[in-house]
Structure 1
């Protein structure tokens, strides 16, 4: 993994997409270092990227895929919901690119109308370091829940897997600073997610997406005008549309991850459902189309949405 410091985003954003009675906004944390792509997706070579010319310039440079870290802020049924909380500030991390970050993620979230104390629900697609970091913030010498009045959700399968796993020190550190303080505050709920999905807020469904981790979920938003799917890490990068068998080096079950990705893409293809990639660089979103026996993404850049009123 790269030791190069990531380039931090520089301007607040409230870029979002309206689904009718549901709105979803991207809240930027950082653009990940260029070396992340070859490390995370080693089979996404220049030759593979060349076979999908639509990836450039937004999703890849001349040689490697581009990746980002952001969360999604959702308004649904009068609730403020945050999906995945990124890497976080001031965390001790083995990955130098994630260690000791100092970003303005919370200011961006507030600018979108989601000050931490206003958030009702935090959804964790899976319990990996770059999806739980802003679960907590430092108060004196203690890590405390960032979203003091929110319920935090993850799937029971995901929670039980990591509770039984033999963790290395880096992962134990992540649980100590970003997961256990929320659990100890009584704010983390483990939910059963059946094959057909589970509604956790009006129009907001958790959908099983195993492979990257055993209990990973994607988040389906069923708005009055259209639907959207937040991927978690079931799809790390748009290159996996044209080449679904390109898998992440940290997938716990690569074969299952491929099956999950193929199922999701087949469901999304040639519909107006918006695909929102948790690590996709801008424009982050698009619709899936079948093209020459493969899939591709037709990008939707979103628009500026007024901050949610308090």
Structure 2
């Protein structure tokens, strides 16, 4: 399990699941077949014309604290509208243990936004009840998403239990975690969609959640996924963050990239180009 160091912060990739998810024409409707050919086989499976996707959590150690960025789908969740994730059963907690972390060790959980594949391991099933998976953690949840998604099914099993346990800290606009980390609103994918910026020892990284889902969006910032709720704002947020990443030599770490999981980008006219892939992985079909 590979770990990268950014100044005084370490980053480890913890995988939950990976596999084909949907055709590119459905996932990124603005894209065309030619956009994907250079991303086979890690990101696009040519034989089946399916986008290859990963569910992963970024494990950070910063300022003496253990921090998780997004918590995947979780096990045993009722997700009938997402058949591949309905009653998912993965060894995620064992994978986390392999990285040296027990649930009780986690100090902070960051949900970049409230979607089913980002809040699932907030809770685990204990008999018939959903209880916090990380009982000693503070769960940082965007206020705008907390309001927007309040009461739906994923909120009830993955957000309400940690809120009722007194573990949730709601935030808006921006939140400084420590001398190395800051959360910023980057709305569009959801009303509260956010990014986590890392700056330490001259190194930079940005954890972008679902600001972009696919490698194609690293180079085509105007391409939205089919899941972006406010298309215009999502494009603006994506472009702004990629501009910052290019100008600061930041590693861009989305939630769902398979392959090497993350990349550095550079400006290429009005678009971007991939400068280098991270040394994580690779996670391939």
Q: TM-score of the superposition, structure 1-length normalised?
A: 0.84
For residues 38 and 106 of structure 1, the distance between their equivalents in structure 2, rounded to whole angstroms, comes to 34
Report the equivalent of 1:300.
278
Question: Could you list the per-position Cα deviations for residues 8-66 of structure 1 after superposition, in whole angstroms to 9, with x for gaps in the alignment?
Answer: xxxxxx2221102001111101113242644332333312324xx3x233322334432
Aligned to 1:18, the other structure's residue is in SS state strand
- Structure 2's unaligned 5+ residue stretches are none
Query: Number of aligned pairs?
Result: 277
Report the equivalent of 2:61.
75
Tell me if 1:23 matches 2:10. Answer: yes
In the superposition, relative to structure 1, how do residues 152 and 117 fare at CA in structure 2: closer, same or farther (>3 Å)?
same
Deviation at 1:108, TM superposition (A): 0.7
Q: TM-score of the superposition, structure 2-length normalised?
A: 0.91
71-80 or 234-243, which deviates more: 234-243
For residues 233 and 25 of structure 2, the distance between their equivalents in structure 1, rounded to whole angstroms, comes to 21
Aligned to 1:287, the other structure's residue is in SS state strand
After TM superposition, the structure 1 = structure 2 runs for residues 1-310 of structure 1, keeping only pairs within 5 Å, are 14-35=1-22, 37-50=24-37, 53=38, 55-62=39-46, 63-94=49-80, 95-163=82-150, 172-193=152-173, 197-291=174-268, 293-297=270-274, 298-302=276-280
For residues 175 and 281 of structure 1, the distance between their equivalents in structure 2, rounded to whole angstroms, comes to 27
Deviation at 1:141, TM superposition (A): 1.1
Whichever structure has more strand as a proportion of its residues is 2
- Give the 4+ runs in structure 1 shifted more than 4 A: none
Q: Is the 8 A contact 2:20 2:50 kept in 1?
A: no
Q: Is the 8 A contact 2:204 2:248 kept in 1?
A: no
For residues 44 and 179 of structure 2, the distance between their equivalents in structure 1, rounded to whole angstroms, comes to 36
For residues 252 and 117 of structure 1, the distance between their equivalents in structure 2, rounded to whole angstroms, comes to 35
For residues 266 and 22 of structure 1, the distance between their equivalents in structure 2, rounded to whole angstroms, comes to 23
- Structure 1's unaligned 5+ residue stretches are 1-13, 304-310
Aligned to 2:154, the other structure's residue is in SS state helix
Aligned to 1:47, the other structure's residue is in SS state helix
C-alpha root-mean-square deviation of aligned residues, in Å?
1.8
For residues 155 and 231 of structure 2, the distance between their equivalents in structure 1, rounded to whole angstroms, comes to 24
For residues 216 and 18 of structure 1, the distance between their equivalents in structure 2, rounded to whole angstroms, comes to 26
